């Protein structure tokens, strides 16, 4: 009998519906009633759920707006002779690591990734930076406490309220075997690139060579291995000197018709 993660995806869709019913609909109740009264779409279309091979460095789920297109509605419109723009569907990606967590953690990730989907739907626009402080305050206001972490914004999970914890505990898995198939976290990953980083100070190049004897045609500096501590990219600099001083006023190195490139490395002026 073949194995599949389809049961997990089916359960995740059911968990999303639970999050909507218990948290998101009550939160946006006023917007839903307003849209219904004006014959607008009352709430957003459910996003497309994906299971990714590996989580990001600091998150187990992430939201991406307008990532998918519905081609069915376009085909129907073409038959009717109407010009129709394909509706864009949002995406919520979940890491395989998440499938081995408890149901409360999965519900946490679904809420923190689903809230922007609802927030942007009712406001009609999207921010390039999704998890702003205002977004984080709104999520924390629902009982899922988040704080700011560089690179991901205000979405780092930092506990939940007792009321939300009770809500999550009340959820019963539709399929108790849904998350019994998990990915081996010790699976071998691809190693890093063998390319080394070399730099002259104004340009970075990558090559596998152990030694490079190049000079930059723009700044005139030698190209050095910038991953090494002694030749860090941030240490590479070039400055001119007053010939009468006899030494560099910034580093104390010899300055007679020389230019200081890195600590301990000098070259003649061009």
Name, of 65-74, 170-179, 251-260, the range with top average pLDDT.
170-179
How many residues would you count in the chain?
Answer: 270
**Percent residues over pLDDT 90 in the chain:** 33
pTM: 0.63
Where does the pLDDT of residue 142 fall: very low under 50, low under 70, confident under 90, or very high at 90 and above?
Answer: very high
Q: What is the pLDDT of residue 169?
A: 95
Average pLDDT over residues 103-123: 93
Strands 48-52 and 88-95: parallel
Over its C-alpha atoms, the chain yields an Rg (Å, rounded) of 28
Average pLDDT over residues 28-53: 91
Question: Cβ atoms within 10 A of the Cβ of 69, count?
Answer: 13
One DSSP character per residue, 38-66 reads TTS--SPPPPEEEEESS--SS-SEEEEEE
> Rounded to an integer, what distance in angstroms lies between the CA atom of residue 140 and that of residue 145?
4
| 193-202 residue pLDDT tens | 677 778 877 7
Q: What is the pLDDT of residue 17?
A: 96
DSSP 215: B
The DSSP bridge partners found for residue 100 are none
Max Cα distance, the chain (Å): 85
| 57-106 residue pLDDT tens | 567 888 888 878 776 655 555 555 555 555 678 899 998 888 889 999 99
Q: Could you give the 3-state DSSP secondary structure of residue 97? A: helix
Low-confidence winner among 26-35, 61-70, 114-123 (lowest mean pLDDT): 61-70
Q: What is the pLDDT of residue 235?
A: 33
Low-confidence winner among 6-10, 155-159, 209-213 (lowest mean pLDDT): 209-213
Q: What is the pLDDT of residue 242?
A: 39
Helices (H) and strands (E) in the chain, counts: 7, 10
Question: Cβ atoms within 10 A of the Cβ of 94, count?
Answer: 22
Q: What is the pLDDT of residue 54?
A: 65
Q: What is the pLDDT of residue 57?
A: 58
Q: Would you say residue 170 has pLDDT above 90?
A: yes
Q: Could you give the 3-state DSSP secondary structure of residue 82? A: coil
Q: Which residue stretches of 38-161 are H helix?
A: 71-79, 103-123, 133-141
> Rounded to an integer, what distance in angstroms lies between the CA atom of residue 18 and that of residue 105?
14
> Rounded to an integer, what distance in angstroms lies between the CA atom of residue 142 and that of residue 163?
10
H/E stretch holding 268 reads: strand 265-268
Where does the pLDDT of residue 224 fall: very low under 50, low under 70, confident under 90, or very high at 90 and above?
Answer: confident
């Amino acid at each position: 009998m073949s194995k599949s993660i389809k049961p997990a995806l089916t359960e995740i869709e059911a968990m999303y519906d639970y999050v909507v019913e218990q948290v998101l609909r009550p939160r946006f109740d006023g917007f839903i009633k307003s849209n219904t009264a004006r014959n607008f779409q009352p709430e957003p279309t459910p996003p497309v759920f994906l299971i990714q091979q590996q989580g990001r460095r600091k998150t187990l789920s992430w939201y991406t707006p307008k990532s998918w297109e519905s081609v069915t509605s376009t085909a129907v419109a073409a038959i009717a002779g109407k010009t129709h723009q394909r509706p864009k569907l949002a995406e919520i990606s979940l890491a395989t690591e998440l499938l081995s967590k408890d149901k409360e953690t999965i519900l946490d990730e679904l809420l923190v990734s689903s809230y922007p989907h609802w927030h942007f739907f009712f406001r009609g626009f999207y921010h390039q930076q999704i998890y702003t402080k205002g977004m984080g305050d709104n999520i924390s206001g629902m009982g899922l406490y988040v704080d700011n972490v560089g690179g991901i914004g205000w979405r780092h999970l930092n506990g939940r309220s007792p009321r939300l914890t009770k809500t999550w505990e009340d959820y019963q898995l539709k399929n108790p075997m849904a998350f019994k198939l998990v990915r081996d976290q010790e699976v071998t990953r691809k190693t890093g690139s063998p390319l080394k980083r070399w730099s002259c100070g104004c340009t970075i190049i990558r090559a596998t060579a152990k030694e490079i004897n190049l000079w930059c045609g723009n700044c005139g500096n030698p190209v050095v291995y910038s991953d090494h501590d002694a030749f860090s990219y941030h240490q590479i600099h070039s400055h001119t000197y007053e010939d009468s001083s006899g030494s560099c006023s910034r580093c104390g190195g010899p300055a007679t018709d020389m230019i200081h490139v890195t600590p301990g490395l000098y070259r003649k002026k061009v």
